[in-house]
Structure 1
Amino acid sequence: MNFGIPLNRKGFTKQEIDKLGNTIIYLSKKIPSLSKTQCLKLLYFLDEFSIKKYGIPVLGLKYEIWQFGPVSQDVYVELTSVPEILSEYITTKSEVLPHGYVMVEVLPKKDFNDDEFSDNDMFILEYVVAKFGRKNASEMSDITHREGSLWHQIAQEKGLLELFEKKIVRTSNYHIDFSRLLDDEKKKVYIDYIDNSNLLRAYNV
C-alpha cells in the first residue's frame, strides 16, 4: 500500500534507518573486526530469534534465500560498497586477501543510541551477541544451513539446494517466511506487526 508519499529510495522510513544503523553500530562495537558476512548473519539471527520469542522482529528486514544463507539484499549492497542510507552510522574498510577474496570490515562512526529499541530488543541484541559473537562467518553459515532451518526448508522446496551446491545460481528472489516458526497466537502478532509496518512505510513516518 502506498499513498503517493515517497519513501527513501530503498523503502525504509527514517525510524527504520536509525534502528538499523544503531543495530549495526551495537554489533560492531561488541564484536572486534566485524565482517560484512558476520554482520549480515547476525541481523538475520536478531530477527529470527525475536520473532520466535515475541512474534515481533527487531528490524523487520526481508531476507532472500541466497547460496550462503538468508540475506537482506539492501543491507548487503550497503555493506559491499560505500554506505549510503547508513552513511551517518557506519563505514566499511576493504582488504584484499590471498586468492583475491575481499574482506570487508564494518566500523561504527558514532556511539550506539538506544532510542528506537525496546527492552525486548535489547534482550535479543545481548542474547545474539553472547550466543554468536565469537563465531566466524562460516560457523554461522553452518547454523543457517542446517536441515530443518527456514533457509533449508525453502531452498529445498524451491529446488535451490542442488543449484547452490553446483554453483549454478548464487541468489534467488525467494524470501524467508518467518510465520512458519509461529503458533497461531504469535502468528497473529506477527501479521499485525507487518500490517502496521506497511502502513507506516506508506506514510513514511
Structure 2
Amino acid sequence: MIWKRRKQMKVQIGTEYCAMEIAEYAVSRRYRHDTPISNLQLQKILYFLQVIHASETGELLFADQFEAWPYGPVIRDVYVKFSDCGGFPIKREFDTEINDSIRPFLDAGVDMLAEKSPWELVRISHAEGSPWDVIYNQKRLHKGIIPNELIMQCASEVSE
C-alpha cells in the first residue's frame, strides 16, 4: 500500500466511543475466541480500525489521538492500561457496551487484523508516507501526536 498526501478532509467523529472502549471490546473478543492479542497487536488493530472506519464512513471511530512510537501508532492510555502484560497475550474480559450498529464492523475488523502477526501490522503501519512515517520519520517527532487530520487524509486515499 502506498500512502500519499492529497486533499484535506474535515475531521468528523462518528460515534460516542473512546479508544479504551474499542480496545476493551477487541481484547474481550479475542480472549473469548481463545486467541488473545498482545498490547502491540491491540495498538495496531486500533489504528487500522480507525483508518478503515474513516475510509468507509468519512468519520473517525473515536476522537483519541495516536502518538508516533518506535513500533507504530499508539494510544498512550490504552498502552499503559495493558502494559503489565508486556509482550504477552492479554487474557482479560471486559463488559463493554457496544451498539449493534457498529458491532459487525468491529467484529470483522478485529478478527481480520488479529490474523496478522504483530510485526506484519507494524510493517504496514510504517509504510512510507503513512501518518506514522510523516510524524516519526519525516518530522522526527518521536512520540509526537499523529493529528486526526492526517488519519482522515490517509483514509481518503484508502477509499479511492
Q: Which residue of 1 aligns with 2:92?
A: 108
Q: Which residue of 2 aligns with 1:68?
A: 71
Aligned-residue identity in percent? 23
Superposition deviation, residue 48 in structure 1: 1.7
Distance 2:78 2:151 in 1: 23
Superposition deviation, residue 31 in structure 1: 6.3
Q: For the structure 1 residues 30 and 128, does the alpha-carbon distance in structure 2 shift closer, same or farther, using more than 3 Å as the test? A: farther
CA deviations 1:61-106 (Å, max 9, x no partner) are: 221011110001111111013xxxxxxxxxxxx4xxxxxxx53221
Superposition deviation, residue 46 in structure 1: 1.3
CA deviations 1:10-49 (Å, max 9, x no partner) are: xxxxx74555433431243346131121111111111121
Q: Which residue of 2 aligns with 1:145?
A: 126
Q: Does 1:132 align with 2:113?
A: yes
Q: Give aligned pairs, total.
A: 138
5+ residue gaps, structure 2: 1-16
List aligned pairs for 1:9-158, cutoff 5 A.
16=18, 18=21, 20-30=23-33, 32-81=35-84, 94=85, 102-110=86-94, 113=96, 115-119=97-101, 121-158=102-139
Indicate conservation of the 8 Å contact 1:50/1:58, yes or no.
yes
Structural RMSD (CA): 2.9
Indicate conservation of the 8 Å contact 1:51/1:178, yes or no.
no
**Greater shift after overlay, 127-136 or 145-154?**
127-136
Q: For the structure 1 residues 129 and 20, does the alpha-carbon distance in structure 2 shift closer, same or farther, using more than 3 Å as the test? A: closer
* Larger Rg, first or second structure (1 or 2): 1
Q: Which residue of 2 aligns with 1:201?
A: none
Q: Does 1:177 align with 2:147?
A: yes
5+ residue gaps, structure 1: 1-14, 82-93, 95-101, 161-170, 187-205
Higher relative contact order (CA 8 A, sep 6+): 2
Q: For the structure 1 residues 123 and 60, does the alpha-carbon distance in structure 2 shift closer, same or farther, using more than 3 Å as the test? A: farther
Superposition deviation, residue 118 in structure 1: 4.8
Distance 1:159 1:20 in 2: 27
Q: Which residue of 2 aligns with 1:90?
A: none
TM-score by length of 1: 0.56
